[in-house]
Amino acid sequence: MSENPAPANPQIPLLNAVNVTAGYKNKVILHELNLSIHAGEIYALLGANGAGKTTTLSLFLGFLTPISGQVFVNQIDVTTSRKAALQQIAYIPESVALYEHLTAQENIAYLLELAGQTAAPEEISRSLLSAGLQETAIHQRVSDFSKGMRQKVAIALAFTRKVPVLLLDEPTSGLDPKATGEFNQLLEILRNQGVAILMVTHDLLGAAEIADRIGFIAGGQLAEEVAAHDGAQRFDVSSLHQRYVGWAVS
């Protein structure tokens, strides 16, 4: 299979977990999980600690091999073709790890090199500007960057790599409301470019602002999914909160 296949059918999900059971050592975390996310969709996965959110991310990143079931990224089986699958993904952890002694531009150039890609300095600068980083910060070392600035560098890397899938782990944790709003605007740009976005979060209100679907995971299974409505009130937040609390304590 080609390392960069295009979906033959827009109905085929870019992220797909099929009847996945998985865990660590002798502990099973996920029980026949089924989850699919399509191009141009932002999906927020919520759940209590230990419910299986991080394990789900680990599956798509190939850190964990399923006991049973299959995991696909852009139709690539992660278990049998992990390297090819990872080339389809940009991943932003809760704490973005950058090389402190390098500038924002140098970080992206180096991380691209590690991914087997290259980009001209001008292209990297455009990506950083598109991600909202001020022009004066492009050539500054990232050692003094705030979390919001680091997130912008990570998003700029996703812009430059032009991958079809973005995975986010608690992306707005520690961000102030202004930085969170800016981050959501960047996610909207990627969504409009057809990127499939999976964000793991505890922030229900934040998820309701940006997500197209919200999934609640409990006991290692997808307990419920809720799709956004058209209009100003995309979700019934009060109802969602009751669901969230219910699944968290069940």
142 and 196 in a common domain: no
In CATH, what number is assigned to the domain containing residue 72?
3.40.50.300
Q: What is the token pair recorded at 208? A: 């309701």
173 and 75 in a common domain: yes
Residue 151: domain span = 98-162
CA 208 from chain center: how many Å? Answer: 16
pLDDT at residue 70 in the model: 97
- Asked if residue 9 is part of any domain, the answer here is no
230 and 134 in a common domain: no
213 and 144 in a common domain: no
244 and 151 in a common domain: no
Q: Residue 156: which residues within 8 A CB-CB, separation 6 or more?
A: 104, 108, 124, 127, 128, 130, 131, 133
- Asked if residue 84 is part of any domain, the answer here is yes
User: How many domains does the structure of the chain reveal?
Assistant: 2
150 and 171 in a common domain: no
Residues for the chain: how many in total? 250
pLDDT at residue 9 in the model: 55
- Asked if residue 72 is part of any domain, the answer here is yes
107 and 177 in a common domain: no
**Which value, to the nearest 10 degrees, does the dihedral of the CA atoms of residues 151, 152, 154, 157 take?**
170
**CA atoms of 81 and 109, how far apart (whole Å):** 25
Q: Which of 123, 141, 162 is the last residue of a domain?
A: 162
Q: Which of 131, 162, 193 is the last residue of a domain?
A: 162
242 and 174 in a common domain: yes
pLDDT at residue 117 in the model: 87
What average pLDDT values come out for the chain (250 residues) when binned by 10 residues? Answer: 45 93 91 96 92 94 95 96 93 88 96 89 93 93 91 89 92 82 88 94 90 94 91 83 71
Cβ(54)–Cβ(201) below 8 Å: no
- Asked if residue 21 is part of any domain, the answer here is yes
- Asked if residue 2 is part of any domain, the answer here is no
pLDDT at residue 222 in the model: 92
- Asked if residue 8 is part of any domain, the answer here is no
